[in-house]
Amino acid sequence: MTAALRRSFDSLQVPNFRRYFKGQVVSLSGNWMQTVAEVWLILSLTGSGFAVGVATALQFLPIMLFGALGGSLADRFAKRDLLMVTQALMMIPPLILLGVTVAGVVTPLMVFGLILIRGALLSVDNPARQAFVMEMVGPDRIVNAVSLNSVIVHSARVAGPAVAGILIATVGVAPCFGLNAATFLFMIWALYGMDRKCLAEPPATDTSESGRVRAAVRHVMKTPELAMPLLLMAVVGTLGLNFQVILPLLARLTFEGGASSYAVLVSSMGAGSVIGALITGARGKTGMGVIAASALAFGGLAMAAALMPSLATEIPVLALLGASAVTFAAAINSTIQLAVEPEMRGRVMALYSVVFLGSTPIGGPLVGFISESADPRLALVLASISGLIAAAGAWWISGRNRVRARLETA
Protein backbone atom coordinates (compact mmCIF):
# COMPACT_ATOMS: atom_id res chain seq x y z
CA MET A 1 0.00 0.00 0.00
CA THR A 2 2.84 2.39 0.90
CA ALA A 3 4.56 1.79 -2.43
CA ALA A 4 1.29 2.38 -4.31
CA LEU A 5 0.72 5.65 -2.47
CA ARG A 6 4.29 6.72 -3.24
CA ARG A 7 3.69 6.05 -6.95
CA SER A 8 0.44 8.05 -6.77
CA PHE A 9 2.36 11.16 -5.66
CA ASP A 10 5.52 10.64 -7.75
CA SER A 11 5.20 13.96 -9.63
CA LEU A 12 5.28 15.93 -6.37
CA GLN A 13 9.01 15.21 -6.24
CA VAL A 14 9.32 17.99 -8.84
CA PRO A 15 9.53 21.28 -6.86
CA ASN A 16 7.77 23.42 -9.47
CA PHE A 17 4.90 20.96 -9.76
CA ARG A 18 4.67 20.80 -5.97
CA ARG A 19 4.17 24.59 -5.79
CA TYR A 20 1.68 24.41 -8.65
CA PHE A 21 -0.22 21.64 -6.87
CA LYS A 22 -0.63 23.72 -3.69
CA GLY A 23 -1.69 26.84 -5.57
CA GLN A 24 -4.21 24.96 -7.69
CA VAL A 25 -5.85 23.26 -4.70
CA VAL A 26 -6.60 26.65 -3.14
CA SER A 27 -7.53 28.46 -6.36
CA LEU A 28 -9.76 25.73 -7.75
CA SER A 29 -11.51 25.29 -4.39
CA GLY A 30 -12.45 28.94 -4.65
CA ASN A 31 -13.56 28.45 -8.24
CA TRP A 32 -15.87 25.59 -7.28
CA MET A 33 -17.19 27.67 -4.40
CA GLN A 34 -18.08 30.38 -6.88
CA THR A 35 -19.58 27.91 -9.37
CA VAL A 36 -21.92 26.46 -6.74
CA ALA A 37 -22.89 29.97 -5.60
CA GLU A 38 -23.53 31.19 -9.16
CA VAL A 39 -25.71 28.21 -10.04
CA TRP A 40 -27.69 28.47 -6.81
CA LEU A 41 -28.09 32.22 -7.27
CA ILE A 42 -29.46 31.74 -10.80
CA LEU A 43 -31.78 28.97 -9.61
CA SER A 44 -33.00 31.22 -6.76
CA LEU A 45 -33.51 34.23 -9.06
CA THR A 46 -35.26 32.36 -11.88
CA GLY A 47 -36.42 28.95 -10.62
CA SER A 48 -35.56 27.65 -14.10
CA GLY A 49 -33.58 24.53 -14.97
CA PHE A 50 -33.00 25.89 -18.46
CA ALA A 51 -31.49 29.06 -16.94
CA VAL A 52 -29.10 26.87 -14.93
CA GLY A 53 -28.09 25.18 -18.19
CA VAL A 54 -27.55 28.55 -19.86
CA ALA A 55 -25.40 29.77 -16.95
CA THR A 56 -23.19 26.71 -17.22
CA ALA A 57 -23.05 27.01 -21.01
CA LEU A 58 -21.95 30.64 -20.85
CA GLN A 59 -18.97 29.72 -18.69
CA PHE A 60 -17.66 27.39 -21.38
CA LEU A 61 -18.96 29.05 -24.56
CA PRO A 62 -15.75 31.09 -25.02
CA ILE A 63 -13.70 27.88 -24.79
CA MET A 64 -15.75 26.39 -27.62
CA LEU A 65 -15.33 29.52 -29.75
CA PHE A 66 -11.84 30.71 -28.84
CA GLY A 67 -10.14 27.82 -26.99
CA ALA A 68 -7.92 26.98 -29.97
CA LEU A 69 -6.69 30.59 -30.07
CA GLY A 70 -6.03 30.37 -26.34
CA GLY A 71 -3.91 27.30 -27.01
CA SER A 72 -2.02 29.20 -29.68
CA LEU A 73 -1.13 31.84 -27.09
CA ALA A 74 0.01 29.05 -24.76
CA ASP A 75 2.42 27.85 -27.48
CA ARG A 76 3.68 31.37 -28.23
CA PHE A 77 4.32 32.74 -24.72
CA ALA A 78 5.88 31.40 -21.53
CA LYS A 79 3.02 29.53 -19.87
CA ARG A 80 3.97 30.59 -16.34
CA ASP A 81 3.81 34.29 -17.27
CA LEU A 82 0.58 33.81 -19.22
CA LEU A 83 -1.03 32.06 -16.24
CA MET A 84 -0.01 34.84 -13.87
CA VAL A 85 -1.85 37.32 -16.11
CA THR A 86 -5.00 35.21 -16.47
CA GLN A 87 -5.12 34.44 -12.74
CA ALA A 88 -4.89 38.15 -11.91
CA LEU A 89 -7.65 39.06 -14.39
CA MET A 90 -9.89 36.28 -13.11
CA MET A 91 -10.16 38.11 -9.77
CA ILE A 92 -12.29 40.82 -11.41
CA PRO A 93 -15.61 38.98 -12.12
CA PRO A 94 -16.05 37.60 -8.57
CA LEU A 95 -15.27 41.00 -7.05
CA ILE A 96 -17.94 42.65 -9.22
CA LEU A 97 -20.41 39.88 -8.39
CA LEU A 98 -19.64 40.35 -4.71
CA GLY A 99 -20.40 44.07 -5.01
CA VAL A 100 -23.75 43.76 -6.81
CA THR A 101 -24.89 40.92 -4.55
CA VAL A 102 -24.07 42.78 -1.34
CA ALA A 103 -25.76 45.90 -2.75
CA GLY A 104 -28.90 43.86 -3.49
CA VAL A 105 -29.04 44.90 -7.16
CA VAL A 106 -27.99 41.59 -8.72
CA THR A 107 -30.05 40.35 -11.69
CA PRO A 108 -29.84 37.18 -13.79
CA LEU A 109 -28.47 39.23 -16.71
CA MET A 110 -25.60 40.52 -14.54
CA VAL A 111 -24.73 37.01 -13.42
CA PHE A 112 -24.84 35.72 -17.01
CA GLY A 113 -22.57 38.54 -18.19
CA LEU A 114 -19.96 38.02 -15.48
CA ILE A 115 -19.98 34.26 -16.05
CA LEU A 116 -19.30 34.93 -19.74
CA ILE A 117 -16.35 37.20 -18.89
CA ARG A 118 -14.93 34.54 -16.58
CA GLY A 119 -15.35 32.00 -19.38
CA ALA A 120 -13.43 34.21 -21.81
CA LEU A 121 -10.48 34.31 -19.42
CA LEU A 122 -10.78 30.56 -18.88
CA SER A 123 -10.44 30.00 -22.65
CA VAL A 124 -6.82 31.16 -22.33
CA ASP A 125 -6.12 29.93 -18.81
CA ASN A 126 -7.30 26.32 -19.25
CA PRO A 127 -5.22 25.25 -22.29
CA ALA A 128 -2.18 26.97 -20.80
CA ARG A 129 -2.62 24.99 -17.57
CA GLN A 130 -3.13 21.72 -19.46
CA ALA A 131 0.06 22.17 -21.49
CA PHE A 132 2.04 23.54 -18.51
CA VAL A 133 1.88 20.16 -16.74
CA MET A 134 4.18 18.47 -19.30
CA GLU A 135 6.51 21.46 -19.12
CA MET A 136 6.92 20.99 -15.38
CA VAL A 137 7.30 17.22 -15.09
CA GLY A 138 8.39 15.85 -18.51
CA PRO A 139 7.13 12.78 -20.40
CA ASP A 140 8.20 10.15 -17.84
CA ARG A 141 5.85 11.51 -15.19
CA ILE A 142 3.05 12.86 -17.41
CA VAL A 143 0.49 10.08 -16.71
CA ASN A 144 1.03 10.47 -12.98
CA ALA A 145 0.97 14.28 -13.21
CA VAL A 146 -2.26 14.34 -15.22
CA SER A 147 -3.85 12.07 -12.63
CA LEU A 148 -2.61 14.30 -9.81
CA ASN A 149 -3.93 17.29 -11.72
CA SER A 150 -7.30 15.51 -11.64
CA VAL A 151 -6.82 15.04 -7.89
CA ILE A 152 -6.39 18.82 -7.61
CA VAL A 153 -9.56 19.51 -9.59
CA HIS A 154 -11.69 17.01 -7.72
CA SER A 155 -10.27 17.71 -4.25
CA ALA A 156 -11.35 21.27 -4.93
CA ARG A 157 -14.70 19.86 -6.03
CA VAL A 158 -15.08 18.38 -2.54
CA ALA A 159 -13.80 21.32 -0.49
CA GLY A 160 -15.31 24.17 -2.52
CA PRO A 161 -18.95 22.99 -2.59
CA ALA A 162 -18.77 21.88 1.05
CA VAL A 163 -17.69 25.37 2.15
CA ALA A 164 -20.14 26.99 -0.28
CA GLY A 165 -23.03 24.91 1.07
CA ILE A 166 -22.28 26.01 4.63
CA LEU A 167 -21.88 29.67 3.64
CA ILE A 168 -25.02 29.78 1.47
CA ALA A 169 -27.11 28.12 4.19
CA THR A 170 -25.85 30.48 6.90
CA VAL A 171 -24.85 33.87 5.43
CA GLY A 172 -25.78 33.71 1.74
CA VAL A 173 -23.91 33.51 -1.58
CA ALA A 174 -21.91 36.79 -1.43
CA PRO A 175 -18.99 35.54 0.75
CA CYS A 176 -18.34 32.76 -1.79
CA PHE A 177 -17.47 35.38 -4.41
CA GLY A 178 -15.15 37.30 -2.09
CA LEU A 179 -13.28 34.18 -0.98
CA ASN A 180 -12.84 33.03 -4.58
CA ALA A 181 -11.27 36.35 -5.53
CA ALA A 182 -8.79 35.98 -2.66
CA THR A 183 -7.73 32.46 -3.68
CA PHE A 184 -6.24 33.71 -6.96
CA LEU A 185 -3.59 35.56 -4.95
CA PHE A 186 -2.31 32.24 -3.62
CA MET A 187 -2.03 30.80 -7.13
CA ILE A 188 -0.16 33.89 -8.34
CA TRP A 189 2.25 33.50 -5.41
CA ALA A 190 2.84 29.83 -6.34
CA LEU A 191 3.58 30.70 -9.98
CA TYR A 192 5.84 33.62 -9.06
CA GLY A 193 8.03 31.42 -6.85
CA MET A 194 8.76 28.77 -9.49
CA ASP A 195 12.29 28.09 -10.77
CA ARG A 196 12.16 29.44 -14.34
CA LYS A 197 15.35 27.57 -15.30
CA CYS A 198 13.50 24.25 -14.93
CA LEU A 199 10.73 25.28 -17.36
CA ALA A 200 10.89 24.91 -21.14
CA GLU A 201 10.95 28.09 -23.19
CA PRO A 202 8.12 28.67 -25.71
CA PRO A 203 9.14 27.82 -29.29
CA ALA A 204 9.93 30.77 -31.50
CA THR A 205 7.50 31.20 -34.40
CA ASP A 206 6.40 33.84 -36.85
CA THR A 207 3.22 32.06 -37.92
CA SER A 208 -0.05 34.00 -37.56
CA GLU A 209 -2.45 32.91 -34.82
CA SER A 210 -5.10 31.70 -37.26
CA GLY A 211 -2.46 29.81 -39.24
CA ARG A 212 -1.19 28.14 -36.09
CA VAL A 213 -4.72 27.03 -35.17
CA ARG A 214 -5.31 25.60 -38.67
CA ALA A 215 -1.97 23.77 -38.45
CA ALA A 216 -3.04 22.19 -35.15
CA VAL A 217 -6.37 21.05 -36.60
CA ARG A 218 -4.62 19.55 -39.65
CA HIS A 219 -2.13 17.80 -37.35
CA VAL A 220 -4.95 16.24 -35.32
CA MET A 221 -6.94 15.18 -38.39
CA LYS A 222 -4.01 13.25 -39.87
CA THR A 223 -2.98 11.69 -36.51
CA PRO A 224 -5.46 8.98 -35.40
CA GLU A 225 -3.78 8.76 -31.97
CA LEU A 226 -5.01 12.33 -31.37
CA ALA A 227 -8.23 12.46 -33.41
CA MET A 228 -9.92 9.35 -31.97
CA PRO A 229 -9.52 10.20 -28.25
CA LEU A 230 -10.75 13.74 -28.98
CA LEU A 231 -13.81 12.33 -30.77
CA LEU A 232 -14.65 10.07 -27.82
CA MET A 233 -14.27 12.99 -25.41
CA ALA A 234 -16.55 15.11 -27.61
CA VAL A 235 -19.32 12.50 -27.32
CA VAL A 236 -19.09 12.14 -23.54
CA GLY A 237 -18.37 15.85 -22.96
CA THR A 238 -21.47 16.93 -24.87
CA LEU A 239 -23.97 14.37 -23.58
CA GLY A 240 -22.49 13.02 -20.34
CA LEU A 241 -20.31 15.47 -18.43
CA ASN A 242 -22.96 18.04 -17.54
CA PHE A 243 -23.08 17.47 -13.80
CA GLN A 244 -22.88 21.20 -13.02
CA VAL A 245 -26.39 21.34 -14.52
CA ILE A 246 -27.70 17.95 -13.40
CA LEU A 247 -26.74 17.99 -9.71
CA PRO A 248 -28.48 21.21 -8.55
CA LEU A 249 -31.65 20.15 -10.38
CA LEU A 250 -31.39 16.63 -8.98
CA ALA A 251 -31.07 18.10 -5.47
CA ARG A 252 -34.01 20.49 -5.81
CA LEU A 253 -36.44 18.78 -8.20
CA THR A 254 -35.84 15.06 -7.59
CA PHE A 255 -34.87 14.93 -3.92
CA GLU A 256 -36.61 18.21 -2.88
CA GLY A 257 -33.54 19.49 -1.06
CA GLY A 258 -31.75 22.82 -0.74
CA ALA A 259 -28.21 24.17 -1.09
CA SER A 260 -26.85 21.72 1.47
CA SER A 261 -28.22 18.73 -0.50
CA TYR A 262 -26.65 20.13 -3.67
CA ALA A 263 -23.29 20.57 -1.90
CA VAL A 264 -23.44 16.98 -0.60
CA LEU A 265 -24.07 15.59 -4.10
CA VAL A 266 -21.21 17.61 -5.62
CA SER A 267 -18.84 16.74 -2.77
CA SER A 268 -19.62 13.01 -2.93
CA MET A 269 -18.94 12.92 -6.65
CA GLY A 270 -15.75 14.92 -6.08
CA ALA A 271 -14.58 12.54 -3.34
CA GLY A 272 -14.98 9.57 -5.67
CA SER A 273 -13.11 11.47 -8.36
CA VAL A 274 -10.15 12.03 -6.04
CA ILE A 275 -9.93 8.31 -5.26
CA GLY A 276 -10.21 7.45 -8.96
CA ALA A 277 -7.46 9.91 -9.84
CA LEU A 278 -5.12 8.51 -7.17
CA ILE A 279 -5.67 4.96 -8.43
CA THR A 280 -5.06 6.08 -12.02
CA GLY A 281 -1.86 7.86 -10.97
CA ALA A 282 -0.58 4.80 -9.09
CA ARG A 283 -1.22 2.52 -12.08
CA GLY A 284 0.54 4.91 -14.48
CA LYS A 285 -1.19 3.31 -17.47
CA THR A 286 -3.14 4.84 -20.31
CA GLY A 287 -4.35 3.93 -23.79
CA MET A 288 -7.52 2.79 -25.52
CA GLY A 289 -8.04 -0.18 -23.21
CA VAL A 290 -8.19 2.08 -20.14
CA ILE A 291 -10.41 4.54 -22.01
CA ALA A 292 -12.83 1.77 -23.03
CA ALA A 293 -13.06 0.22 -19.54
CA SER A 294 -13.60 3.57 -17.80
CA ALA A 295 -16.20 4.65 -20.38
CA LEU A 296 -18.09 1.38 -19.83
CA ALA A 297 -18.01 1.91 -16.06
CA PHE A 298 -19.19 5.50 -16.52
CA GLY A 299 -22.14 4.38 -18.65
CA GLY A 300 -23.22 1.68 -16.21
CA LEU A 301 -22.87 3.86 -13.11
CA ALA A 302 -24.74 6.79 -14.72
CA MET A 303 -27.66 4.42 -15.36
CA ALA A 304 -27.48 3.21 -11.75
CA ALA A 305 -27.52 6.84 -10.55
CA ALA A 306 -30.67 7.45 -12.60
CA LEU A 307 -32.40 4.60 -10.76
CA MET A 308 -31.49 5.50 -7.17
CA PRO A 309 -34.64 6.16 -5.07
CA SER A 310 -33.23 8.51 -2.42
CA LEU A 311 -30.49 11.02 -1.63
CA ALA A 312 -28.82 8.51 0.72
CA THR A 313 -28.55 5.85 -1.98
CA GLU A 314 -27.52 8.39 -4.65
CA ILE A 315 -24.44 9.54 -2.75
CA PRO A 316 -22.28 6.36 -3.00
CA VAL A 317 -23.27 5.79 -6.64
CA LEU A 318 -22.23 9.35 -7.52
CA ALA A 319 -18.89 8.75 -5.79
CA LEU A 320 -18.25 5.72 -8.02
CA LEU A 321 -19.49 7.67 -11.04
CA GLY A 322 -17.00 10.43 -10.25
CA ALA A 323 -14.16 7.88 -10.08
CA SER A 324 -15.03 6.46 -13.50
CA ALA A 325 -15.44 9.93 -15.05
CA VAL A 326 -12.03 11.15 -13.89
CA THR A 327 -10.35 7.91 -15.02
CA PHE A 328 -11.87 8.35 -18.48
CA ALA A 329 -10.85 12.02 -18.76
CA ALA A 330 -7.34 11.45 -17.38
CA ALA A 331 -6.73 8.51 -19.74
CA ILE A 332 -7.70 10.60 -22.76
CA ASN A 333 -5.66 13.59 -21.55
CA SER A 334 -2.47 11.60 -20.97
CA THR A 335 -2.92 9.58 -24.18
CA ILE A 336 -3.07 12.83 -26.16
CA GLN A 337 -0.14 14.43 -24.32
CA LEU A 338 2.07 11.42 -25.04
CA ALA A 339 1.12 11.39 -28.74
CA VAL A 340 1.39 15.11 -29.56
CA GLU A 341 4.53 16.91 -30.80
CA PRO A 342 5.94 19.33 -28.17
CA GLU A 343 5.58 22.42 -30.39
CA MET A 344 1.88 21.58 -30.90
CA ARG A 345 1.06 20.73 -27.28
CA GLY A 346 -0.61 24.01 -26.27
CA ARG A 347 -2.85 24.11 -29.33
CA VAL A 348 -3.79 20.42 -29.21
CA MET A 349 -4.56 20.63 -25.49
CA ALA A 350 -6.71 23.65 -26.33
CA LEU A 351 -8.66 21.41 -28.71
CA TYR A 352 -8.95 18.93 -25.83
CA SER A 353 -10.38 21.75 -23.69
CA VAL A 354 -12.82 22.62 -26.49
CA VAL A 355 -14.27 19.11 -26.58
CA PHE A 356 -14.02 18.57 -22.80
CA LEU A 357 -15.35 21.91 -21.57
CA GLY A 358 -16.45 23.70 -24.73
CA SER A 359 -19.04 21.02 -25.46
CA THR A 360 -21.03 22.22 -22.42
CA PRO A 361 -22.70 25.12 -24.32
CA ILE A 362 -24.39 22.45 -26.44
CA GLY A 363 -25.09 19.85 -23.77
CA GLY A 364 -25.78 22.17 -20.81
CA PRO A 365 -28.99 23.86 -22.04
CA LEU A 366 -30.21 20.54 -23.50
CA VAL A 367 -29.72 18.78 -20.16
CA GLY A 368 -31.31 21.70 -18.30
CA PHE A 369 -34.37 21.60 -20.58
CA ILE A 370 -34.73 17.82 -20.22
CA SER A 371 -34.37 18.02 -16.43
CA GLU A 372 -36.90 20.83 -16.06
CA SER A 373 -39.52 19.57 -18.52
CA ALA A 374 -39.27 15.86 -17.63
CA ASP A 375 -36.92 14.63 -14.89
CA PRO A 376 -33.22 15.10 -14.04
CA ARG A 377 -32.98 11.30 -14.03
CA LEU A 378 -33.40 11.34 -17.82
CA ALA A 379 -30.25 13.48 -18.07
CA LEU A 380 -28.38 10.71 -16.23
CA VAL A 381 -29.77 8.18 -18.72
CA LEU A 382 -28.40 10.36 -21.53
CA ALA A 383 -25.01 10.40 -19.79
CA SER A 384 -25.15 6.60 -19.57
CA ILE A 385 -25.79 6.28 -23.31
CA SER A 386 -22.84 8.55 -24.10
CA GLY A 387 -20.52 6.43 -21.96
CA LEU A 388 -21.62 3.20 -23.61
CA ILE A 389 -21.15 4.72 -27.08
CA ALA A 390 -17.62 5.85 -26.12
CA ALA A 391 -16.81 2.42 -24.67
CA ALA A 392 -17.88 0.70 -27.90
CA GLY A 393 -15.84 3.16 -29.98
CA ALA A 394 -12.74 2.73 -27.81
CA TRP A 395 -12.93 -1.08 -27.92
CA TRP A 396 -13.23 -0.95 -31.71
CA ILE A 397 -10.22 1.37 -32.01
CA SER A 398 -8.23 -0.79 -29.58
CA GLY A 399 -9.02 -3.87 -31.67
CA ARG A 400 -7.88 -2.16 -34.86
CA ASN A 401 -4.65 -1.09 -33.16
CA ARG A 402 -3.92 -4.67 -32.05
CA VAL A 403 -4.54 -6.01 -35.56
CA ARG A 404 -2.28 -3.32 -37.07
CA ALA A 405 0.47 -4.11 -34.53
CA ARG A 406 0.33 -7.84 -35.37
CA LEU A 407 0.51 -7.12 -39.09
CA GLU A 408 3.51 -4.82 -38.63
CA THR A 409 5.42 -7.42 -36.62
CA ALA A 410 4.50 -10.36 -38.87
pLDDT of residue 203: 53
Q: What's the CA gap between 308 and 305, in Å, rounded?
A: 5
pLDDT of residue 345: 74
- pLDDT per residue over 236-258, tens digit each? 988 888 887 888 889 888 998 88
pLDDT of residue 50: 86
Domain ranges of the chain: 8-200+208-409
> Please, are residues 36 and 160 in contact by the beta-carbon 8 Å criterion?
yes
> Please, are residues 263 and 165 in contact by the beta-carbon 8 Å criterion?
yes
Please give the span between the terminal C-alpha atoms of the chain, in angstroms, as a whole number: 40
pLDDT of residue 303: 97
Task: Please give the C-alpha separations between residue 343 and each of 76, 80, 200, 257, 380, in angstroms, as whole numbers.
Answer: 9, 16, 11, 49, 39
> Please, are residues 146 and 24 in contact by the beta-carbon 8 Å criterion?
no
- pLDDT per residue over 113-126, tens digit each? 999 999 899 888 88
**Share of residues in the chain with pLDDT > 70 (%):** 89
pLDDT of residue 196: 82
Give the per-residue SS3 of the chain: CHHHHHHHCHHHHCHHHHHHHHHHHHHHHHHHHHHHHHHHHHHHHHCCHHHHHHHHHHHHHHHHHHHHHHHHHHHHCCHHHHHHHHHHHCCHHHHHHHHHHHHCCCCHHHHHHHHHHHHHHHHHHHHHHHHHHHHHHCHHHHHHHHHHHHHHHHHHHHHHHHHHHHHHHHCCCHHHHHHHHHHHHHHHHHHHCCCHHHCCCCCCCCCCHHHHHHHHHHHHHCCHHHHHHHHHHHHHHHHCCCHHHHHHHHHHHHCCCCHHHHHHHHHHHHHHHHHHHHHHHHHCCCCHHHHHHHHHHHHHHHHHHHHCCCHHHHHHHHHHHHHHHHHHHHHHHHHHHHHCCHHHHHHHHHHHHHHHCCCHHHHHHHHHHHHHHCCHHHHHHHHHHHHHHHHHHHHHHHHHHHHHHHHHHC
pLDDT of residue 4: 52
Which superfamily does CATH assign the domain made up of 8-200+208-409 to? MFS general substrate transporter like domains (1.20.1250.20)
pLDDT of residue 7: 61
Taking 70 as the pLDDT cut, the residues of the chain under it are: 1-8, 150-151, 154-155, 157-158, 200-213, 281-285, 357-360, 405, 407-410
pLDDT of residue 206: 46
Q: What's the CA gap between 354 and 172, in Å, rounded?
A: 33
